[in-house]
Structure 1
Amino acid sequence: MSFGFLGIQFGFALQNANVSRIFETLGASKDELPILWLAAPVTGLLVQPIIGYYSDRTWSEKWGRRRPFFLVGAILATIALFLMPNSTALWMAVIMLWLMDASINVSMEPFRAFVGDMLPNEQRTSGFAMQSFFIGIGAVIASALPWIFTNWFNVSNVAGDGLIPDSVRWSFYVGGIAYFLAVLWTVIKTKEYPPEDLEKLKAENAEVTIFGGLIESFKGIFKMPKTMLQLAFVQFFSWFALFAMWIYTTSAVTSHVYGTSDSTSALYNEGADWVGICFAIYNGIAALVAFLLPILAKKTSRRMTHLIALFCGGFGLFSIYFVTDPTMLLISMVGVGIAWASILSMPYAILSSTLPAEKMGYYMGVFNFFIVIPQIVAAGILGFILKTFLGNESINAMLIGGVSFLIAGILCLFVHDNEETE
């Protein structure tokens, strides 16, 4: 069930570790990076709730409910991953980011509902933890690919002005193939339960229009269960922190630790490759910690487990400010990895226990608003804050992210979890 997420994370990890590098290579300035990244959250805002709404209303005897969306998204994302590193101008790279992120979202949202569909409440914490494991494994490999191509296969890591290095280009090609094959495995090897009332589903589908589905999806934000609303605030600050990290880590590490902002220099590209290794480490930690989270949740609670993990992430981001040796960044990534493992599992495990089965995909899509809205806010204000108040130093974005993680952790205390009541 979860193996396809390994492939999906190839796409996200390559995006998170390399898109800022590609943008800077094609001429983007530091304060422009957040706005250029806006494509990712905006596509999520539009695509995920709609896909969730329609995947709830889909049924095929052969393909099931969620699997058609897995496959279509995988095909489109693979195409985008092949095209992205061949961008020759900044505007082309931005368009490719829109296409890539939209395609990944088509695959990803139904995977969240898939666990809710297939598992009873007492198994969902483990189910989402298994997703976190495959996400971590996929991201470890994908994030390290440019470094691997450079150091193991002697592929060029430096290119001329405005050109993307071959190490990055080949990483995206491998990622596209891995994405498609991993998702295809899940599509072929899993079966889904049919809807409880197939005739009712057919009657509802007869009344659905694209416009009506779009309106209904956005209405869901005003119909959220209480627990979902409480988790929304936790999600907002968690993903604000993550987006600050994804946008600015390359710039922060190359300038603050390596001492260069010249994207054509060997030193800059060495630092950018090391960021990929750092991202691989935090995802590797997340894959390992994923199996420990259910144990900790049983001994404490899912809320407290998430709080502890988010605090680890906050301290991890804070510590980057004090790093002078690149190797020490790996220690910082341990804290980030613990937070990432929990972000990928605990909120969904808590939420799924409060949702009606027939609307699992719909509400999971609506819940995604609180992943993409903070990213849109971050894209809108981070560049302005850094340029106006913080000397346009990218390293300060790590401090902002650390504070945001701590706030998210504190807000966990106000979340109601049905499991604790039971």
Structure 2
Amino acid sequence: MTKARLSLFQIWNMCFGFFGIQIGFGLQNANTSRIFQTLGVEIDHLAILWIAAPATGLLVQPIIGHLSDKTWGRLGRRRPYFFWGAILTTAALVLMPNSPTLWIAASALWIMDASINITMEPFRAFVGDNLPDEQRSTGYAMQSFFIGIGAVLASCLPWILTNWLDVANTAPAGQIPPSVRIAFYAGGAVLLAAVMWTVFTTREYSPEQMAAFEAAQAAAKGEAVATHAGPGRAVAAYLTGGAIWTIAGLAVAAGVYALKLEKELYVLAALIAGFGLAQLVAGQLKRAGRTGNGFSEVVEDLFAMPATMKQLAVVQFFSWFGLFAMWIYTTPAVAAFHYGATDATSAAYNAGADWVGVLFGVYNGVAALAALLIPVIARAFSRRVAHAICLVLGGLGLLSFMVIRDPKLLVLGMVGVGFAWSSILSSPYSILSGSVPGRKMGVYMGIFNFFIVIPQLLAATVLGLLLKTFFGGQAIWALVLGAAAFLIAAIAVFAVNDPGEPKRLAKLTS
């Protein structure tokens, strides 16, 4: 028993909701700092906003993944989360640009982060649920296409309103400009419409059908259906590991305090200690025989990850470290290295910052086009080779910022970054979805998000220290570190075991 192949139009319908999600995510990324500064936040306090979104995802995505695995109703398994997440995200998009105070704006940001994660996380599992292995590259590439198109539109929307429709982009002190408010309203409407299109034009396989597919796949491989019904990780392992990680986190916090290091490093300490505390709680629950709760199951699944997922985690870690280095430091790097400006109030600095906005639009646009090409490369060679090629292109693209002095030519580097971005959003998920049990697709997609969030948190906390200590505070070196991370990820791809690769190679050679 195998899943039916879907037409390109059916795959389009499945993935169209991601277009709306990326509109909301893009508007948030591009305008949150602007809104917060308008409401009185000092620039030195903006860095925490880079940590808020990944920290929210770290908590929300595995929970939503676990819940969606166990959901079945009129709207199916994943679609109830699309439905309610889209409504909550739209409400937050309307609220945020109308926030009268900083606290309301901050609350709207966290609601928006959580709501986007509620909507987005099941979309990854949705493709894995509905498509046979040979179509998953196409499905995830279609998501990348919509992410690229949505990001370009979201980045340009306030500019379009101002330059094409004469909407004002300035406002009195303490008020959000009309162009930003209207962009958020329009973005909310598009997000809701796009997600609802996916909700009402697609279907899902029932839990019984998913179990039958999994059994048939295991039988074809001569294996038993994998379960986690056994004893799992021992209580002693949880308690010992938890104690070690908790003590290590406290030690890092003490070191940051004693050496008067950057306060952002407390986030790293909290992350380490939090991992330890989670193990301690899981160990105590297991000792008491209370393992039937969602928390215990998620922690148990974390330590029972398939080998392919562990291998992909290394690739993801370095890929997203490189991305976050680029997102944080491209503006100051280009302003200083290519425009000779470090004063954020100067005309040269703002010219550089404006050009970075164009460069980011370029890589997102390239990513949308690359999404159409990556499945072709994957079919010709393999998913691993295709992903490695794209990561190398991304690494060379970031490295070019150190070599190219004419800022206009930096567009060439962003072409490589666009290929890397498109592949990062699709190839790992295509490989992963064939290596995890179908009934746990959601929770494992949520756990996989850890290896996106952790490098982002690490980059936000240590990159500043690295630049200050070893590179004289020059932001351009953050892009070099990002390039190195991409190249390490490309090498790590070849250590990944892709369960679907032998099947495709056999088809190519038959």
Q: TM-score, normalization: structure 1?
A: 0.88
Any residues of structure 2 matched to 1:175-324 within 5 Å, and which?
175-196=187-208, 212-258=293-339, 271-324=352-405
Q: How far 1:376 moved relative to its partner?
A: 1.4
Structure 2: distance between partners of 1:273 and 1:80: 27
Q: SS at the partner of 1:2? A: helix
Structure 2: distance between partners of 1:314 and 1:70: 34
- Number of equivalent positions: 411
The question of 1:125 aligning with 2:137 is answered yes
Corresponding residue for residue 40 of structure 1: 53
Deviates more, 1:230-239 or 1:284-293: 284-293
Gaps of 5+ in 1: 200-208
Structure 2: distance between partners of 1:154 and 1:363: 47
Task: Note the alpha carbon deviations across 1:105-161, whole angstroms, 9 max, x for none.
Answer: 100110011111111111111111111111111112112223323332344445677
Higher RCO structure, 1 or 2 (CA under 8 Å, sep 6+): 1
Structure 2: distance between partners of 1:90 and 1:4: 31
The question of 1:8 aligning with 2:21 is answered yes
Contact 1:17–1:143 under 8 Å retained in 2: yes
What amino acid maps onto 2:113 in structure 1? D
Task: Note the alpha carbon deviations across 1:236-291, whole angstroms, 9 max, x for none.
Answer: 11111112222233444445445556666776655544433322221111111111
Q: How far 1:81 moved relative to its partner?
A: 2.2
Structure 2: distance between partners of 1:247 and 1:169: 25
Percent identity for Structure 1 against Structure 2: 60
Deviates more, 1:256-265 or 1:270-279: 256-265
Q: How far 1:55 moved relative to its partner?
A: 0.4
Task: Note the alpha carbon deviations across 1:395-418, whole angstroms, 9 max, x for none.
Answer: 332222212111111111111111
Any residues of structure 2 matched to 1:379-394 within 5 Å, and which?
379-394=460-475
Q: Which has the larger radius of gyration?
A: 2
Contact 2:210–2:439 under 8 Å retained in 1: no
Contact 1:41–1:375 under 8 Å retained in 2: yes
Structure 1: distance between partners of 2:51 and 2:317: 16
Q: SS at the partner of 1:63? A: coil
Contact 2:402–2:480 under 8 Å retained in 1: yes
Contact 1:146–1:276 under 8 Å retained in 2: no
Q: SS at the partner of 2:55? A: helix
Task: Note the alpha carbon deviations across 1:361-381, whole angstroms, 9 max, x for none.
Answer: 111111111111111111221
Deviates more, 1:400-409 or 1:376-385: 376-385
Structure 2: distance between partners of 1:82 and 1:254: 33
What amino acid maps onto 2:62 in structure 1? P
What amino acid maps onto 1:98 in structure 2? W
The question of 1:49 aligning with 2:62 is answered yes
Contact 2:86–2:195 under 8 Å retained in 1: yes
Any residues of structure 2 matched to 1:136-147 within 5 Å, and which?
136-147=148-159
Contact 1:14–1:143 under 8 Å retained in 2: yes
The question of 1:112 aligning with 2:193 is answered no
1:394/1:291 CA distance change after superposition, 3 Å: same
Deviates more, 1:160-169 or 1:32-41: 160-169
Structure 2: distance between partners of 1:90 and 1:326: 36
Q: SS at the partner of 1:421? A: helix
Structure 2: distance between partners of 1:238 and 1:318: 15
1:308/1:140 CA distance change after superposition, 3 Å: same
Corresponding residue for residue 373 of structure 1: 454
Q: SS at the partner of 1:43? A: helix
Q: How far 1:93 moved relative to its partner?
A: 4.9
Deviates more, 1:12-21 or 1:108-117: 12-21
Q: SS at the partner of 2:207? A: coil
Structure 2: distance between partners of 1:237 and 1:332: 19
Deviates more, 1:170-179 or 1:298-307: 170-179
Q: How far 1:198 moved relative to its partner?
A: 10
